[in-house]
């Protein structure tokens, strides 16, 4: 894991040197506030790790790593507005600290800056990198729309939900890894395999995120516990519980997830969480997570890369799978 810690340090140093700043302060201060948050830097770290895995030099694609982190944080900025979230990484969300208009415009600027930094990447494969990045940006927005649509739909299937998180979360991990691989002499087969690994571990990552939102420690996650329940998010936890619950509990779940339900948030979270615990939903989510995690490790083991570097990536994947924040 030391290798990945070093890559994270490299990313953080590059972000400081990037000095994303400028007038007007009202536009750039929220951007700095967002980027200075104590994030995992997961996506840029995976990009650099994939580059290293196939024999490339991570420092040559730091501009692309900055771009992917800018884009990711842009999505969080806008996601928090849509979810009416109060906290992100233990701090006030931008729309709470400033206002919605500021958060929207600062987010838009981050999206544009992400392309500026991608274009600074000098590499023969830059067109393919940009194509991958652009397709991913479209898919992330599609996933976000599905997420919002699901809040209003009376019925959502588990396959529909898994596709939504594939688009909203997992493809960005795949994109990060693919761009890292494209910066090397990796074969098209290995480029596809590392992308597919990212998507599989990304789905497992989001399922873990969903579980931590309900059952995690808010002090560790930096989010308001039960935020998904308050926002009527039809997560895997809710859908699986609805699938196996008895008739009375199904009625209660559907009532609580009605946007017009007047139940106070604290009571709603406590009651829905209790129903989920009754049906041991944590165990069932873990089983689904394990399937995607196992698939990700199988894909990694197919790569034609130095075994010690594959083992290092496997260890990082396991950390993502077992994390508690």
Q: Note the pLDDT tens digit of each residue in 55-73.
A: 999 999 999 999 999 999 9
Nearest CA among 228, 222, 325, 219 for reference residue 273 = 228
* Phi-psi region at 121: left, alpha or beta (left = phi > 0; alpha = psi -120 to 50): beta
d(CA 199, CA 53): 18
User: In 3D, which of 13, 30, 110, 109 has the Cα closest to residue 68?
Assistant: 110
Mean pLDDT value across residues 185-211:
97
State the burial class of residue 307 (Cβ atoms within 10 Å of its Cβ: 0-12, 13-18, 19+): exposed
- Model confidence at 41, in pLDDT bands (50, 70, 90)? very high
CA distance readout (Å), 320 to 139, 208, 289, 293: 23, 9, 11, 9
Angle, vertex CA 89, rays to CA 139 and CA 292, nearest 5: 45
Report the pLDDT value the prediction gives residue 218, as an integer from 0 to 100: 78
pLDDT score for 188 = 98
Q: What is the pLDDT of residue 1?
A: 75
Give the phi and the psi of residue 91 in degrees, each rounded to 5: -120, 160
Confidence of residue 307 (pLDDT cuts 50, 70, 90): very high
Distance CA 276, CA 155 (A): 18
Q: How many beta carbons lie within 10 A of that of residue 320, not counting itself?
A: 18
Mean pLDDT of all residues belonging to the chain: 95
Task: Point out the least confidently predicted range of 153-162, 223-232, 313-322.
Answer: 223-232
| pLDDT greater than 80 at residue 325 | no
Is residue 324 scored above 90 in pLDDT? Answer: no
Mean pLDDT, to the nearest integer, of 199-222? 91
Q: What is the distance between the alpha carbons of residues 273 and 182, in angstroms, rounded to a whole number?
A: 44
Structural domain boundaries of the chain?
2-322
Residue 4: Cβ within 10 Å count = 19
15 Cβ neighbours under 8 A, 6+ residues apart:
35, 66, 69
Polymer length of the chain: 325
Answer yes or no: is pLDDT of 301 > 90: yes
pLDDT of residue 313 exceeding 90: yes
The whole-model pTM stands at 0.94
Structure tokens at 237: 């936890």
Domain 2-322, CATH class in plain words: mainly alpha
Q: Cα(191)–Cα(184) distance, rounded to whole angstroms?
A: 10
CA angle 100, 103, 107 (to 5 degrees): 140
Q: Is 164 helix (H, G, I), strand (E, B) or coil?
A: helix
């Amino acid at each position: 894991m030391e290798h990945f810690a070093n890559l994270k340090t490299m990313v953080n140093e590059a972000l400081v040197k990037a000095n994303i700043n400028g007038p007007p302060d009202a536009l750039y201060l929220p951007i700095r506030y967002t980027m200075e948050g104590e994030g995992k830097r997961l996506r840029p770290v995976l990009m650099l790790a994939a580059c290293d895995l196939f024999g490339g030099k991570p420092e040559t694609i730091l501009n692309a790593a900055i771009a992917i982190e800018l884009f990711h944080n842009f999505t969080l900025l806008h996601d928090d507005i849509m979810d009416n979230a109060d906290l992100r990484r233990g701090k006030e969300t931008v729309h709470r600290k400033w206002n919605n208009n500021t958060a929207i415009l600062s987010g838009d600027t981050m999206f544009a800056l992400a392309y500026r930094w991608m274009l600074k990447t000098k590499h023969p494969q830059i067109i393919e990198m940009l194509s991958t990045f652009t397709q991913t940006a479209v898919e992330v927005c599609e996933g976000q729309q599905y997420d919002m649509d699901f809040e209003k739909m009376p019925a959502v299937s588990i396959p529909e939900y898994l596709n939504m998180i594939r688009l909203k979360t997992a493809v960005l991990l795949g994109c990060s890894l693919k761009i890292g691989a494209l910066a090397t002499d990796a074969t098209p087969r290995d480029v596809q395999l590392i992308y597919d690994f990212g998507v599989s571990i990304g789905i497992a990552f989001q399922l873990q995120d969903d579980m931590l939102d309900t059952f995690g420690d808010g002090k560790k996650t930096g989010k308001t516990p039960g935020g998904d329940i308050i926002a009527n998010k039809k997560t895997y936890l809710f859908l699986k519980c609805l699938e196996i619950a008895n008739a009375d509990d199904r009625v209660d779940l559907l009532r609580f997830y009605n946007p017009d339900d007047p139940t106070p948030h604290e009571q709603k979270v406590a009651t829905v969480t209790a129903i989920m615990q009754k049906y041991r939903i944590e165990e069932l989510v873990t089983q689904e997570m394990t399937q995607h995690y196992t698939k990700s490790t199988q894909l990694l083991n197919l790569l034609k890369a130095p075994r010690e570097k594959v083992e290092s990536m496997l260890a990082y994947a396991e950390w993502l799978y077992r994390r508690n924040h």
